Amino acid sequence: MIPAFSVVGKSNSGKTTLIEKLVTELKRRGYRVGTVKHDVHGFEVDHEGKDTWRHRQAGADVVVIASPDKMAMIESLSGELPLGDILARVRGVDLIVTEGFKRGPLPKLEVLRSARSRELLCAEDPQLFAIASDVPLNGTAAAAAPVFEWNDATGLVDLIERRFLGAGAP
């Protein structure tokens, strides 16, 4: 199974920005990285009139679009897939970073930005393995997980390598 963890935090706390920095640093170190973004509002990758949209309108349950350098699959679902089922479909990477899934079963790196909140979402979650914050933290949450400056990708990736990648090079 490919190691995975979730970056969680309040909306607009900087999760995506931090993930960009983590992925960039992991790639610099030679790792292949997959990401999975949770979107509670739904999303659309098809555009009316395009071939894939037309395939779906005709009734295809799965549509794949492929080119020499990328591929995307659109699958109709009857309900939200469990995170484990989604992760099982990701292949060819050393690590998977998910965004969201704060109630999911994966280890969590929480982003806490004082402009959004001063309260951790996952303070009581035993899966909380690190906190990225723009303010110092005191108390149990800080004692339970190491606290990093919110955009310290180098320090966070050092921890991620030790915890999820065996601290070795790919």
In the prediction, which pLDDT does 47 show?
80
Supply 8's token pair: 């969680």
Longest dimension (CA), the chain: 57
Q: Under 8 Å CB-to-CB from 169, ≥6 apart: which residues?
A: 29, 30
Which domains occur in the chain, in start order? 4-43+79-164 (3.40.50.300)
Average pLDDT, the chain: 88
Give the pLDDT confidence of 23-80 residue by residue, as tens digits: 999 999 999 999 998 876 666 677 888 888 899 889 888 888 888 988 888 888 888 8
Identify whether the C-beta of residue 102 lies closer than 8 Å to the C-beta of residue 109: no
The CA-atom distances, in angstroms, between 17 and each of 12, 39, 105, 122, 144 are 10, 16, 23, 20, 24
pLDDT band with cut points at 50, 70 and 90 for residue 13? very high
In the prediction, which pLDDT does 38 show?
82
For residue 154, the SS3 value is helix
Cα 24 to Cα 54: distance, rounded to the nearest angstrom: 36
Give the pLDDT confidence of 54-63 residue by residue, as tens digits: 998 898 888 8
